[in-house]
Structure formats: structure tokens, C-alpha cells
């Protein structure tokens, strides 16, 4: 059973590793080619403006997605660099000089990639449905057809990706991430043997969010005309933030209802999709995920100790 009094942690699978994040910190642990673990630790900067936006219903989901894309991109790049590290002789001054610029660039690219991907994922099914407008006319039929194409495209894309050796391992780390979160929330010991028994599926997963954007999009688009084509294109682009915001709230709702009889089934479609986006991890992969999560807990513990000491001094 879920432990509602526990702090909420999120995560992301990266190349040969796992990133875990809290409200204040994010830590990534990566298994390098020599078998050692490398860590990337980042403290999340507090922003009063963003804090206000995160309190606004529907808008908070969009802010969370942008923030997650920016943070995830930085950790993903770290994982790629660490795994492919060829131990070339690089001077430390050069690294330090370009660090700020590199982090900003990666964050921007991550956010742009997210929205460009969402734009393509929205436009392609729309054009496919419109090409069949002569055979399947009508606003309701066109919206259902568009949603069907979007779902097929999503499942086909994930299915084909799973055959790539590297992506398959990322999916295994994705499963390891979920197992650690589930084990923590259920007060299970954070050991590979114990965590292995936990489920690799989780209600708050981004995979579920992607599926909800398809379903939510169908209902939202039903309120807008499908003809003419130019208006349909404008509506789809303009409504992307709306679909993302509403889908985020649906994801949060299904997580809150996961222990409620009958209502828990609302989140099942997202869990079914995770059967494609997660794989059973190996013992070594579980070790990496556990190490990353424990390091995050340690970072938070140290910050609390520093804050407590500051209060005593003052």
C-alpha cells in the first residue's frame, strides 16, 4: 500500500544509469565501462516565480514538463559523456570555462526537443486523419480517427525502439527506477534482492502521461472544428499547452486514486503502456538505481543538517 506521508520522488532512466530527483536535489548514478559508478549531483535552484506558477491548476503541469525536460537533458548528457569517456587529456580550466554555457545550452535544447517532438506527434496523426476526410467525414469521426492514429504511432514507435540494444537497457533502468520508488514507498529494504520483488510499474510515470495526452486530446479537440485544414492546424498547435496541462492533472489524479477500489482502474491504461517502456532490470542495474537514490537521500540529509546548524547559530 502507498505511503501517503512519504516525500514524493521522481526519476528518469539514462544511459547506463538512473536519475532521481526531489524538490531540492537531483542525482544521477552511471555505471561506467570499467564497472565503477560516477555521480552527477545538482541542487535545484529555488525560483519564486516558478513556485507561484506551480500552484496554478493546469498551468503547473506545463511548468513541470519544461523543468523536467531541462533537468533531464543535463543528466542525460552527463550519462552519455561518462559512459563514453575515453579518458582523453582535457584541461580542467577549459571544462570549467564552458560549464555554465554547456548546461544552459543543453537545457534549452532539451525543452525545445520536447515541444518539437510533441508538435510532430500532434501534426502527423492529424494529417493522416485529414487525408481520409472524404471517406470518414465529420468532426467526431475525424477526432476519433486522429486519436487512433496517434495511439498506433505511439505504440509502434515504442515497440520498434525496444529492439535497439541501448534503448532496451534504458528500459531496464527505467524498470529499476520504478522498483526503487515502489520499494521506498512500501517501506521495503533498499537492497537489490528486496527491490527486485517490487513492481516495475508506477502510476506517476511519464509513459502514463504520454498516453493520457492522447486520450485527453481527443476529448479537448472534440470542442473545436476539424474543417478547414488551416484552422485545424492552428487549433492543434494552440491547444498543445492545454492538452499537456490537463493530462498532467489527470496523471496526478490517478496517482491519488490508486488505492481506491474501482477508481484505481483509471490509471491502468498508463500502467499497460509501461509494459513496453520498462523491462525487468538485472542485479547490477538495480545496484546502480539504489546507489543513485541513496545518494539523493544523503544529499537531502546533509542540507537539513546544515539548515539546522544555521538555525542554532542564529
Q: What is the pLDDT of residues 142-152, one digit of tens each?
A: 999 999 999 99
Cell of 200: 516495475
- pLDDT on residue 128: 95
- pLDDT on residue 81: 82
Cα separation, 99 vs 117, in Å, equals 27
pTM for this entry: 0.84
Average pLDDT estimate for 130-148: 94
DSSP string computed for 20-44:
EE-SSEEEEEEE-TTS-EEEEEEEP
Cα separation, 192 vs 97, in Å, equals 40
Cα separation, 17 vs 275, in Å, equals 20
- pLDDT on residue 89: 42
Asked whether residue 99 carries a pLDDT value surpassing 50, the answer given is no
Cell of 135: 471517406
- Which backbone phi and psi does 16 adopt, to 5 degrees? 55, 40
Asked whether residue 103 carries a pLDDT value surpassing 80, the answer given is no
Contacts of 111 (CB under 8 A, 6+ apart): 66, 69, 70, 73
Cα separation, 109 vs 182, in Å, equals 31
β-sheet bridge partners, residue 41: 27
Cα separation, 194 vs 289, in Å, equals 13
Cα separation, 245 vs 178, in Å, equals 23
Cα separation, 177 vs 26, in Å, equals 14
Q: What ranges in 164-267 are assigned the alpha helix state H?
A: 165-185, 192-195, 206-221, 229-238, 240-256
**What pLDDT band is residue 189 in, cutting at 50, 70 and 90?**
very high
Order of strands across the sheet with 37-43?
A: 10-14, 17-21, 25-31, 37-43
Asked whether residue 203 carries a pLDDT value surpassing 70, the answer given is yes
Lowest mean pLDDT among 5-14, 195-204, 231-240: 5-14
**What pLDDT band is residue 223 in, cutting at 50, 70 and 90?**
very high
Please give the sequence-ordered ranges of beta strands (E in DSSP) within the chain, or none if there are none.
10-14, 17-21, 25-31, 37-43
Give 23-43 pLDDT, tens digit per residue.
888 999 999 988 899 999 988
Cell of 1: 500500500
Cα separation, 167 vs 146, in Å, equals 28
Pairing of strands 37-43, 25-31: antiparallel
Cell of 125: 496523426
Return the closest-CA partner of residue 236 out of 114, 132, 143, 307.
143
Asked whether residue 69 carries a pLDDT value surpassing 90, the answer given is no
- pLDDT on residue 102: 47
- pLDDT on residue 114: 62
Cα separation, 77 vs 253, in Å, equals 32
* Residue 95 neighbours by CB distance under 10 Å: 10
Return the closest-CA partner of residue 272 out of 155, 173, 167, 184.
155
Lowest mean pLDDT among 18-22, 46-50, 144-148: 46-50
Cα separation, 289 vs 11, in Å, equals 10
- pLDDT on residue 169: 94
- pLDDT on residue 261: 83
Cα separation, 50 vs 181, in Å, equals 26
Rg value, the chain, Cα: 21
Amino acid at each position: 500500500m502507498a505511503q501517503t506521508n512519504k516525500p514524493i520522488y521522481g526519476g528518469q532512466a539514462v544511459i547506463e544509469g538512473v536519475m532521481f530527483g526531489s524538490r531540492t536535489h537531483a542525482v544521477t548514478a552511471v555505471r561506467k565501462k570499467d564497472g565503477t559508478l560516477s555521480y552527477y549531483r545538482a541542487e535545484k535552484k529555488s525560483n519564486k516565480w516558478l513556485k507561484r506558477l506551480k500552484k496554478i491548476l493546469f498551468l503547473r503541469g506545463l511548468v513541470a514538463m519544461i523543468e523536467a525536460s531541462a533537468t533531464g537533458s543535463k543528466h542525460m548528457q552527463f550519462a552519455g559523456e561518462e559512459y563514453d569517456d575515453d579518458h582523453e587529456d582535457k584541461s580542467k580550466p577549459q571544462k570549467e570555462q564552458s560549464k555554465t554555457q554547456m548546461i544552459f545550452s543543453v537545457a534549452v535544447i532539451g525543452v525545445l526537443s520536447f515541444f518539437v517532438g510533441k508538435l510532430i506527434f500532434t501534426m502527423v496523426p492529424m494529417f493522416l486523419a485529414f487525408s481520409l476526410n472524404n471517406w470518414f467525414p465529420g468532426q467526431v469521426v475525424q477526432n476519433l480517427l486522429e486519436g487512433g492514429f496517434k495511439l498506433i504511432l505511439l505504440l509502434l514507435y515504442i515497440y520498434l525502439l525496444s529492439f535497439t540494444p541501448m534503448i532496451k537497457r534504458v528500459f531496464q533502468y527505467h524498470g529499476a527506477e520504478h522498483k526503487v520508488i515502489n520499494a521506498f514507498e512500501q517501506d521495503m529494504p533498499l537492497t537489490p534482492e528486496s527491490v527486485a520483488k517490487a513492481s516495475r510499474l508506477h502510476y506517476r510515470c511519464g509513459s502514463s502521461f504520454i498516453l493520457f495526452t492522447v486520450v485527453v486530446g481527443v476529448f479537448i479537440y472534440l470542442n473545436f472544428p476539424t474543417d478547414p485544414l488551416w484552422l485545424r492546424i492552428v487549433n492543434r498547435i494552440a491547444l498543445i499547452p492545454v492538452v499537456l496541462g490537463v493530462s498532467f492533472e489527470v496523471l496526478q489524479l490517478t496517482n491519488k486514486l490508486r488505492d481506491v477500489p474501482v477508481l484505481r482502474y483509471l490509471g491502468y491504461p498508463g500502467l499497460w503502456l509501461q509494459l513496453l517502456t520498462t523491462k525487468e532490470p538485472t542485479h547490477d542495474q538495480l545496484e546502480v538505481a539504489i546507489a543513485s537514490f541513496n545518494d539523493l537521500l544523503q544529499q537531502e540529509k546533509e542540507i537539513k543538517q546544515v539548515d539546522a546548524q544555521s538555525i542554532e547559530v542564529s
